[in-house]
């Protein structure tokens, strides 16, 4: 069972982890308003955190925001690059979140098929068919 006595060891480990960190300004924002939560944003956020930890990525901050404004495409995450670029991924799930960590945040390749542009183009095609 977890106990308060464990906290001193956790404190020492966390301090060591913080000292080893390179820092950095990249940010991943998860939409967590009612629409996002109902669509599954919480498992997406937890998968991001877990994958970043497993892959030892320590220059990315994960945070949450309210409604991003396109409720029908939730869960939505936005990657904010240090140069100001913003990439919006839509209809996310935990597996897609892990893919964004591996392909985009680690290897620098945007997952084009998961972006809002790809989703909107596909919706347009379907509407025209």
* Closest alpha carbon to 79 in 71, 68, 69: 68
Burial 29-50 (b: 16+ CB within 10 A, else e): bbbbbebbbebebeebbebbbe
| Residue with Cβ nearer another protein (32 or 119) | 32
63 scored as a contact of another protein (CB under 8 A)? yes
Identify the residue among 31, 32, 97, 104 touching another protein (CB under 8 A).
Answer: 32
Identify the residue among 15, 55, 109, 124 touching another protein (CB under 8 A).
Answer: 15
Region from 62-70, 75-83, 87-95, 111-119 binding another protein, contact rule CB under 8 A: 62-70
Q: Which of residues 69-108 bind another protein (CB under 8 A)?
A: 69
64 scored as a contact of another protein (CB under 8 A)? yes
Contact 120, 126 (CB under 8 A): no
| Residue with Cβ nearer another protein (110 or 116) | 116
> How far is 58 from 81, CA to CA, in rounded Å?
14
Burial 70-95 (b: 16+ CB within 10 A, else e): eeebbbbbbbbeeeeeebbbbbbebe
Site residues for another protein per CB under 8 A: 1-2, 4, 6-8, 10-11, 13-15, 17-18, 32-35, 37-38, 42-43, 45-46, 49, 53, 62-64, 66-67, 69
């Amino acid at each position: 069972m977890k106990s308060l006595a464990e906290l001193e060891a956790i404190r020492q480990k966390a301090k060591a982890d913080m000292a080893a960190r390179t820092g950095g300004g990249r940010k991943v924002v998860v939409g967590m308003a009612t629409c996002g939560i109902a669509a599954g944003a919480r498992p997406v956020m937890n998968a991001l955190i877990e994958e970043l930890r497993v892959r030892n990525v320590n220059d990315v901050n994960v945070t949450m925001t309210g409604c991003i404004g396109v409720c029908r495409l939730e869960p939505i995450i936005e990657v904010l690059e240090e140069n100001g670029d913003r990439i919006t991924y839509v209809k996310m799930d935990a597996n897609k979140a892990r893919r964004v960590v591996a392909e985009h945040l680690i290897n620098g390749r945007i997952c084009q098929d998961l972006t809002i542009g790809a989703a909107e183009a596909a919706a347009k095609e379907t509407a025209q068919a």
